[in-house]
Chain A
Amino acid sequence: MKQLISLRVNGEPYEVAVEPHKTLLEVLRDELELTGTKEGCGGLGQCGTCTVIMDGKAVNSCLVLAMDARDKEVLTIEGVATAGKLHPIQQAFLDYGAIQCGFCAPGTVLSAKALFDKNPNPTEDEIKIAIAGNLCRCTGYAKRKKALLAVAEQQGKEGGR
C-alpha cells in the first residue's frame, strides 16, 4: 500500500506516494523525473552510478528504501550547479577531460562533492578513497584524480579551513 512521504531534494520539498519496496533511486528517476542519477549494476551497490548525497553523506540510492529517505535532505546531480554556474568539481572535470561517455559522471561528482564539502583540501589518498566506489569504464580514472587534485589545490589557495 502506498504511503505519503516528504523529503527535500536539491533544496525543494517534495511529497510522494511510495510503496515500501521502492528505493530512493526509483523514486528519484520515476516519480520525480530526476534522471541524472543512473542505474548501472542492477541495483546491487556495485557501480556507484546511483550515488546521491543524503544528509551530507554519499550513498548508493539503489540500496536506500524510499521510506528511509523521508524527512532527509537529498542532493542529486541536478542540484550541484547553482544559479546556472557549474560547481568547481564539474568545471574541473570538463577542463581536465575527466569524462568520456559521461554515464558515471553524476555519481562521481557527488562522491567528490561529499568529500569537498567536509574537507576543502583533501590529500590524494582521501580523494581516491572518496571516489573508489564509482566505477568508470572509459577514462581509467587518472584524469579525474588530476582534476580533483587541482580543485583541492585551488581551494587550498583560497584559504579553506
Chain B
Amino acid sequence: MSDAFSVIGKRVPRIDGVALITGEAKFLDDIVLPKMLYGKILRSSYPHAKILNIDTSKAEKLPGVKAVITAADTPKLRYGIPQIYDEIRDEPVLVDDKARFYGDRVAAVAAVDMDTVEEALDLIEVDYEVLPAVFDPEEAMQPGAPKIHEVERNIAIVKRVYAGDVEKGFKESDLVLEGRYVAHAQEHSHLEPHGAIAATDISGNITLWTTTQTPFTIRRDLVKMLGIPLSKINVIGTQCGGGFGGKNEVTVEPHAILLALKTGRPVKMIYSREEEFIASTIRHPFIFYSKIGVKKDGRLMAKQGRAILNNGAYTGHGIAVAYYVGAVFATLYRIENVKYEGYVVYTNCTYGGAFRGYGNPQMTFAIETEMDRVAEALNMDPLKLRLINAPVAGERSACGIFVGSCGLRECIEKAAEAVGWGNKWKGWEVR
C-alpha cells in the first residue's frame, strides 16, 4: 500500500515542527508591536451581584493608564453563538446590569506596562449589591431560586429528541432499569493561555492577532458583538499553544479591540492561569436521569432520558452540547423508542463551552455504565449485550442521524480477541 502513494502511509514531517522545537515559532505573547499597550479585565468578586455604579476616575488619572472602558463604551446588545438552528443572545462584552459569575467582566484597562495595569485595576471602584447565588442546576430550577437571566426556572432552552413510543417499549420490556449519572466539570488547561493583540489604523481598520482554533468564527462573532462591518476586521490566528475546544470562543478580543480603538495604539491582553480557570469555558457538568427497558434476550426496547446541563452564567455552546448529548443517546445503541430532553440550565458558575467530545464523554459514560448494569441485571456477558445492540451501517437512527459507516461491532470483536475476553470472562458472580 505504501509504495503506491507518496504521502499516504508515509511519515511526513510537520511543516511547523522545526520552528516549534527550536523555539522560533511565535506564539501570541511572543509578538510585540511598536507603542503596544497592555490590558486586563476587571472581574467581579461576587458570583451574583447588581452593579450599582462603576467609578473609573482614579484609575484614569494614574500615570501610564491610557484608557478605561465599561459597558457604556460598548454597543447596547447581547450576543450568542449560533448553534443548530438556535441562538440565545444573553452575553455582554462588559456587564451593564449585574455580574452573573465570579469573574464576570466589569471593566477593562489599557496602560503602558503590566505593573500599571494591575495598579489601575485596584483603583476602579465598583458598588456591588450582592445577590443570592445558585451553583447547582437542579436547585436553580426550583421555584424561588435566584434568577440569573429573565427566563422561567433558569432554563435557557430544552432540546428534545423523540422517536417511536417509549411507553409501549417499556410495557414490552422484561426489565426496566433507572439510574442517575453525574459527570463533573473540566478545564482545558492548555499550556498557552488565551490572549489577543488588537491594532487599529487611522481609518478604524482592525487587525487582531489571537490564539484561537477558529479565526473565522471569531471574526464573525466580533462583527456581531461590536457592530462593526466584516470588511473592517482582519483576524490572524497565531501559533496555537493548545486548545482542545477551549479556544473556540471569544475571551479578550472585543476588549482589546475597544481599547485599541480608544487609544489609537495596539493593545495586548493575556489571560493569567487563574483567569483560565474562572473566566474561560469548561466542559458542561452533567446530571442525567436515565430509564432503559430491555428484553430478556438483550434487545433494547426503550430509552428515556433527562439531561440537566449546568450551563453556567451564559449559554456559550450549551445548546449544541445539549442536542449532541441527545443525539448520542438516541444513536448509541440502536433503539427505536426513545425520549430525550436536555435542559440547559443557568447557574452562577463559570459557563460551559466546547471541550473535545462536546457532550460525548458525559453521555458515553452514562450509556456505557448503564449497559453494564443492564448486562448484570440480565446476567448476560456485557460484550454480548453490546454486540446485540450495536448500530449498523446503512441505518438511520431514531433521531434521524444516518449511520454511514460503523465499525463498532468489528472493534469490539477484535478487541475482545486481543485481550482474550472469551477466556477471562467468567460471569457476573466472579469478581
Most buried by B among A33, A44, A76, A106: A106
Which one of B20-28, B294-302, B359-367, B375-383 is at the A interface? Answer: B20-28
Quick check: B191 and A49 within 8 Å, CB to CB?
yes
Which single residue of chain B is at the shortest CB-CB distance from A110?
A: B23
Rounded to whole angstroms, the CA-CA distance of A86 and B17 in the bound complex is: 11
Scan residues 11-59 of chain A and give those whose CB is less than 8 A from a CB of chain B. Answer: 29, 33-42, 44, 47, 49
Number of A residues whose C-beta is below 8 Å from B? Answer: 36
Q: Does B373 contact A (CB under 8 A)?
A: no
Contacts of B273 in A (CB 8 A): 40-42, 44
Chain A 109-126, CB-CB to B under 8 Å as 1, else 0, gives 100000000000000000
- Say yes or no: is A78 at the interface (Cβ < 8 Å to chain B): yes
- Assembled-state Cα–Cα distance A36/B243 (Å): 19
Report yes or no: A106 in contact with B23, Cβ–Cβ below 8 A: yes
* CA of A77 to CA of B191, assembled, Å: 17
Query: Whole-angstrom distance between the alpha carbons of A105 and B14 in the complex?
Result: 14
The answer to whether the Cβ of A152 comes within 8 Å of any Cβ in the partner chain is no
Q: Are A101 and B190 in contact (CB under 8 A)?
A: yes
Q: Which residues of A contact B23 (CB under 8 A)?
A: 34-37, 76-78, 105-106
- One of A1-9, A64-72, A135-143 contacting the partner: A135-143
Binary CB contact string for chain A from 96 to 110 against chain B (1 if under 8 A, 0 otherwise): 000111111110010
Q: A35-B30, A42-B274, A102-B239 are in contact. Are A135 and B22 (CB under 8 A)?
A: no
Q: Judging by beta carbons under 8 Å apart, are B14 and A94 in contact?
A: yes
Interface string of B398-417 (1 = CB under 8 A from A): 00000000000000000000
Chain A residues near B27 (CB-CB < 8 A): 35, 38, 103
Count of interface residues, chain B, beta-carbon cutoff 8 Å: 31
Q: Give the chain B neighbours of A40 by CB distance below 8 A.
A: 191-193, 273
Q: Is B428 an interface residue (CB 8 A)?
A: no
Known: A38-B27, A101-B241. A137 touches B17 (CB 8 A): no
In the bound assembly, the distance between CA atoms of A86 and B19 in angstroms comes to 11
Q: Does A132 contact B (CB under 8 A)?
A: no
Chain A residues touching B, majority SS: loop
User: Would B18 and A86 count as touching, CB distance under 8 A?
Assistant: yes
Instruction: Determine the distance from Cα of A81 to Cα of B272 in the docked complex, in whole angstroms.
Output: 31
A90 CB, min distance to chain B CBs, angstroms: 4
Asked whether A102 lies within 8 Å of B16 as measured between CB atoms, the reply is yes
Q: Does B29 contact A (CB under 8 A)?
A: yes
B13 in contact (CB, < 8 A)? yes
* Separation of A103 and B76 alpha carbons in the complex (Å): 38
B209 to nearest A CB, angstroms?
A: 14
Checking A41, A86, A100, A138 against B22 with a beta-carbon cut-off of 8 angstroms, the contacting residue is A86
Contact with A along B335-360 (1 / 0, CB 8 A): 00000000000000000000000000
Q: Are A135 and B21 in contact (CB under 8 A)?
A: no
Chain B nearest CB from A154 CB (Å) reads 17
Among A35, A86, A93, A102, chain B packs the most CB atoms within 10 A around the CB of: A102
Q: Is the CB of A102 within 8 A of B21?
A: yes
User: Are the C-beta atoms of A42 and B272 separated by less than 8 Å?
Assistant: yes
CB distance from B253 to the nearest CB of A (A): 20
Partner of A99, one of B20, B189, B272, B274: B20
Closest to A46 in B: B273
Structural contact, A101 and B240, CB atoms closer than 8 A:
yes
Question: Is the Cβ of A137 less than 8 Å from the Cβ of B22?
Answer: no
A102 touching B22 by the CB < 8 A rule?
no
Residues of the A chain whose Cβ atoms lie less than 8 Å from the Cβ of B191: 38, 40, 47, 49, 101, 103-104, 135-138
Q: Shortest distance in angstroms between A48's beta carbon and chain B's nearest beta carbon?
A: 9
Query: How far is the CB of A112 from the nearest CB of chain B, in Å?
Result: 12
Note all chain A residues with C-beta closer than 8 A to B30.
29, 35
Q: Is the CB of A105 within 8 A of B189?
A: no
In the assembled complex, B242 has its CB within 8 A of some CB on chain A: yes
| A80 at interface by CB-CB < 8 Å | yes
- Cα-based distance from A19 to B243 in the complex (angstroms): 35
Say yes or no: A35-B22 contact (C-beta < 8 A), given A102-B241, A103-B191, A104-B191: no
A36 to B190, CA, bound (A): 17
Given A41-B273, A137-B242, A101–B22 Cβ distance below 8 Å?
A: no
2-45 of chain B: CB within 8 A of chain A = 13-14, 16-18, 20-27, 29-30, 32
The yes or no answer to B421 lying at the interface (CB within 8 A) is: no
Query: Chain B contacts of A38 at CB under 8 A?
Result: 27, 29, 191-192, 241
* 8 Å CB contact of A101 from B24, B189, B192: B192
Chain A residues with CB under 8 A of B192: 38, 40, 101, 103
Q: Are B274 and A105 in contact (CB under 8 A)?
A: no
Chain B residue at smallest Cβ distance from A79: B23
CB distance from A74 to the nearest CB of B (A): 14
Among A35, A86, A93, A104, max chain B CB count under 10 A is at A35
Which 9 A-B residue pairs are closest in the complex by CB-CB distance? A36-B23, A102-B20, A103-B241, A77-B23, A35-B30, A101-B242, A42-B273, A103-B191, A90-B21
Cross-chain pairs A/B with CB under 8 angstroms, 13 sampled: A37-B23, A38-B192, A40-B192, A42-B274, A94-B14, A94-B17, A100-B242, A101-B241, A105-B21, A105-B23, A106-B23, A137-B188, A137-B190
Q: Given contacts A36-B24, A94-B13, could you give 13 more A-B pairs where the C-beta distance is less than 8 Å? A: A37-B23, A38-B27, A40-B192, A40-B193, A44-B273, A93-B21, A99-B17, A99-B21, A101-B190, A101-B241, A103-B190, A104-B191, A138-B242
